[in-house]
Chain A
Amino acid sequence: MTSSKKNRRFAQLPLAAAALFAMSGVGPAQAEVPARFYWKTLTGGSAVPLIVESISGNANPFDPSRLVSNDANFDATLAIAGYAETFSLLDRSAMAAILLPMGRISGEARAVNGASVSQSASGFGDPMLELNVNLIGPKPQNNIPDAMRYQPGFSLDLLADIAVPIGEYDNKQTLNLGQNRWYGRIGAPMTMQLGAWVPGRRTTLELLPAAWIFGDNTDFVGRKLKTDPLFQLDAHLTRDFAENIWGSLDASWYKGGKATIDGVEGSKRNDVTLGLTLGYKINDNLNLTAGYRSTVNDSAPDKMRMDSFMITFVFGWHPLIEGSRRLKQE
């Protein structure tokens, strides 16, 4: 069976329409972090990231799988709050985080019987646990001298995410924040330093190849939803404009993630997103980014169509830095 035939067949099935909410246009919402997110800092530090997105498109940004409704149109306001700790694991830089998505989504969708219906959902999504450990690159920054001498050169990490299916879920509708299944990701964030590592002059190429793996949702409006693994490749070319401000050209490519609902196969995803990000270091604690991204070549009805504005705040602190500041009475 060819892909197009499968697609047509899929679209003709009433139940298949239920899958229309299946995915974010830009990428799994929980995976949406800006460039420079995996840069290493002093171990023993803490951070609270807050990521806010306004998303429009034809898929559900709370669902990391990738199914598209030809004629759906959703608007979502999404926030991800989290908490992260940096530490040294087997003498490598490591970061553990918990990310909790929340927000609301609404729009016109086709229900399981094929009728166009308005649906909405709000609340908390599935929290995600994340562990990132550097494999290749400089030793962890265990103290300020280490931090002072740190330059990433070429750094490669191992990233593991797992989402816990405790988010809000209503098995009577297709649009949900929780996904009612386990899913996770294995990735390898890479940072390549291009040139000097001097604030104001830093340039990096950052890549994140990753594979998403999904469990089954056995109660997807009474049906069983299976999703094949989804390949993700994010790329960022970042450059400092001055010491405290930087920009990034962003691209993402998602491929695979074919969904099957009660044995009926959908199509594989193959979409590309381009975007821009500006980052600004407000002070030693607070970093801000603002970005926009949109799918490209997305005019065909079955293509992913999604765009988003994203603002992130990351507030970080370290006892040593905070204590020094208190002593200096800053």
Chain B
Amino acid sequence: MKTAALSLIAATLAAVFPVAATAQTPEPAQGKRPNIVVILGDDLGYADLGAFGSEIKTPNIDALAREGMRFTNFYTHATSSPTRATLLTGIDTHRNGLGNMDEWTAPNQRGADGYEGYLKLGIPTLPQLLKDAGYHTYMVGKWHLGKSPELIPRARGFERDFSLLDGAGSYWDMTNFTAAAPQSVFTEDGRYLNKLPDDYYATKTYTDKMISFIDANRADGKPFFAYVAHQAPHDPFHLPKEWRNRHVGEYDKGWDAVRQARLKRQIELGILPAGTELSERMWFVPDPVVLAPASRAILGKKMELYAGMVENLDHHVGRLVDHLKKIGEYDNTIFVVFGDNGAEGTDLFKMIAGSPGSRDFLFGAINWSQTHPNAWGDPGSYVGYGPMWAQVSMTPFSQYKSWTAEGGIRNALIVSGPPVKRMKGSINHGVLHVADIMPTMLEVAGASYPKADQDKKTPALMGKSWVPLLAGKTESPRTEQDYLAWEIFGNRAVRQGEWKIRWQYKPFGSESWELYNLASDPAERKNLAAANPDKLKAMTSLWESYARENNVILPSRSVFETLEDQLPKRVSDDKGYPPLIYKQQFVPPKDMVAEPAP
């Protein structure tokens, strides 16, 4: 109670006298406020951590899960920069500048408020508010929220940073993907880098830098906010040689078998209820059983690399955790670990450089043509793992990144540290959203959010604090009436309680609203729209409210507008069909076998 009262007073003071609060926020009487470490995996799938049923070995992140809590109904956005923008502002992506990704702003969205393609200026950010509240604020890794000087991490509240401003790039050097923008852009402490440190490897260097930032300011005793926005395991799957061969041949059995094994473990762990089905295998993904061993091996090797990426990421998370233990900060640190969106099933490289004769094809030929499997992981190689393995990463959910199916937006979340008062290792099924992190951390830090102003430059926070949930006072930050909504590239969705509607471009969707009950059908196999018109109507009404309140401008052009013309006609994934290719050799009874008559 005393803590809550102090927090309330502090919050009130900060709201009324924000500048004064900045300079004078005292350490709480009961001791130092907790450090905050947000660890973000890029395209990390729901089912890729051991604590969420993966065979990939992630002992360090799993240890955080054992010390803290796991959340099974945590939502991000379907793509990277919108999630990051919401994480750092706590407001809807259509209001914070990432109404669409910068790379895909539609003609009718250009110039519209909320569609700037970068984190809008003037909106309070989590690091800024924490810094104002007396925290050191550090960032390493991927930014993806703007490149000009007023938009970079230093300008948005981070005291120290080592940041990749682009959405992706080489892990080994500054090579990027297009001829028009051939170099990745990095900043360190607000300065644009003209080269990278010696011995640079993204995941390692980011960790080294974060450790150095933390150590540099330890003497003053202030808590810190560390935003560790790893590039891993986003493609290209670049990783050191010693991490490439930890799963040789393990994935030759194919994606279906791995998905089934993961689902089994998820059920055993209590992540998902017994009886949960797997989502459909995407209709254009073959049944691995009918593939030649060579095909399974070459495709399996991609997953081997991905598993190595995740394990390497876990290793470096472990280095940071170990360091915090070593310097005595671990016990006073909140860790928040999650992925920024669904796993990536789209071939990004093909999208960029797939047309022979194009400028970007030529660029790829020079810079990204190390296609031999033994070169995978090296500089100049570009390996992604395709829709089949993305579905594995998102077990048991449907589809993947960029789509508003559960496979695009639901993610694994781990929270540990002082605010967690529940039994260690517990699992919660409440509905959470990335926008909740802002109010949660502000509350934990005793900081406050400025009042919404008249011109809406400071919109109200959309998220809800998890503090009561972490303390065991509630099972979800949301009521059954609260709802969440999404829109990206024209794909959209609403979740309220156990119900969800989604609208997606064909052929992933039907270009009409579909209705699913996620409690009984988390894999979104059964569209209940026709059977529940009233529910559908009520949910679409929520969508309309959401779209209106958040200035959602459906795009006139979309990355997926021609997808239906590119993919085979959608059919259901009926197991064992057609029998023609599954029938085994007939073996007659031995006593009926005879030589031909002379």
Contact = CB atoms under 8 A, between A and B. Distances in A.
To the question of whether A and B form a pair in one complex, the answer is: yes
A143 B374 contact: no
B49 interface: no
A145 B249 contact: yes
B370 A198 contact: yes
Contacts of A200: 372
A197 interface: yes
B252 A151 contact: no
B370 A149 contact: no
A145 B293 contact: yes
Contacts of B375: 196, 198, 201
A197 B297 contact: no
B301 interface: yes
A144 B372 contact: no
A144 B293 contact: yes
Interface in A132-187: 143-145, 148-149, 151
Contact of B374 (A144, A145, A198): A198
A222 interface: no
Contacts of A149: 248-249, 297, 301, 373
Interface centre among A196, A198, A199, A201 (most CB of B within 10 A): A198
Interface in B420-474: none
A51 B313 CA distance: 52
Given A145-B249, A145-B252, A151 B374 contact: yes
A323 to B, nearest CB: 11
A148 B375 CA distance: 11
B567 interface: no
Interface string B336-374: 000000000000000000000000000000000010111
Interface centre among A145, A148, A149 (most CB of B within 10 A): A145
A145 B370 contact: no
A197 B374 contact: yes
B378 A148 contact: no
A149 B372 CA distance: 11
B180 interface: no
Given A143-B293, A196-B375, A198-B378, A148 B298 contact: yes
Contacts of B327: none
A148 B252 contact: no
A101 to B, nearest CB: 37
Contact of A198 (B294, B297, B372): B372
A88 to B, nearest CB: 16
A144 B370 contact: no
B294 A144 contact: yes
A47 B107 CA distance: 60
B241 to A, nearest CB: 8
B253 to A, nearest CB: 12
A145 B297 contact: yes
B296 to A, nearest CB: 8
Contacts of B252: 145
B378 A144 contact: no
A197 B293 CA distance: 22
Given A196-B378, A199-B372, A148 B294 contact: yes
Nearest to B292: A144
A151 B374 CA distance: 8
Interface bin, chain B: 10 to 19
A198 B381 CA distance: 11
Contacts of B249: 145, 149
A123 to B, nearest CB: 45
A148 B301 contact: yes
Nearest to B248: A149
Interface string A292-310: 0000000000000000000
A144 B293 CA distance: 8
Contacts of B372: 198-200
Contacts of A145: 249, 252, 293-294, 296-298
A151 B372 CA distance: 13
B237 to A, nearest CB: 15
Interface string B213-224: 000000000000
A145 B378 CA distance: 20
A325 B41 CA distance: 42
Contacts of A151: 374
A199 B370 CA distance: 9
A196 B374 CA distance: 7
Interface in B369-417: 370, 372-375, 378
Nearest to A147: B294
A198 B375 CA distance: 6
Nearest to A198: B375
Interface in A198-246: 198-201
B96 to A, nearest CB: 44
A149 B293 CA distance: 13
B381 to A, nearest CB: 9
Contacts of B293: 143-145
Contacts of B374: 151, 196-198
B143 to A, nearest CB: 32
A11 to B, nearest CB: 55
Contacts of A143: 293-294
A199 B373 CA distance: 10
A303 to B, nearest CB: 44
A151 B252 CA distance: 19
Contacts of B378: 196, 198
Interface string B244-258: 000011001000000
A68 B189 CA distance: 75
Interface in B240-276: 248-249, 252
Interface in B194-251: 248-249
Contacts of B294: 143-145, 148
Contacts of A201: 375
A113 to B, nearest CB: 63
Contact of B297 (A144, A196, A199): A144
A201 B375 CA distance: 9
A148 B370 CA distance: 15
A74 to B, nearest CB: 45
Nearest to B378: A196
Nearest to B241: A196
Nearest to A197: B374
A144 B297 CA distance: 8
Contacts of A144: 292-294, 297
A196 B377 CA distance: 11
Nearest to B300: A145
A39 to B, nearest CB: 14
A199 B378 CA distance: 13
Nearest to A202: B374
B428 to A, nearest CB: 42
A200 B381 CA distance: 13
B303 to A, nearest CB: 14
Nearest to B381: A198
Interface of B: 248-249, 252, 292-294, 296-298, 301, 370, 372-375, 378
Given A151-B374, A196-B378, 16 more contacts: A143-B293, A143-B294, A145-B252, A145-B293, A145-B294, A145-B297, A148-B294, A148-B297, A148-B298, A148-B301, A149-B249, A149-B297, A196-B375, A198-B372, A198-B374, A200-B372
11 contacts: A143-B294, A148-B294, A148-B298, A149-B301, A149-B373, A196-B374, A196-B375, A196-B378, A198-B370, A200-B372, A201-B375
Interface of A: 143-145, 148-149, 151, 196-201
Nearest first, the 4 A-B pairs at minimum CB distance are: A145-B297, A144-B294, A198-B375, A198-B374
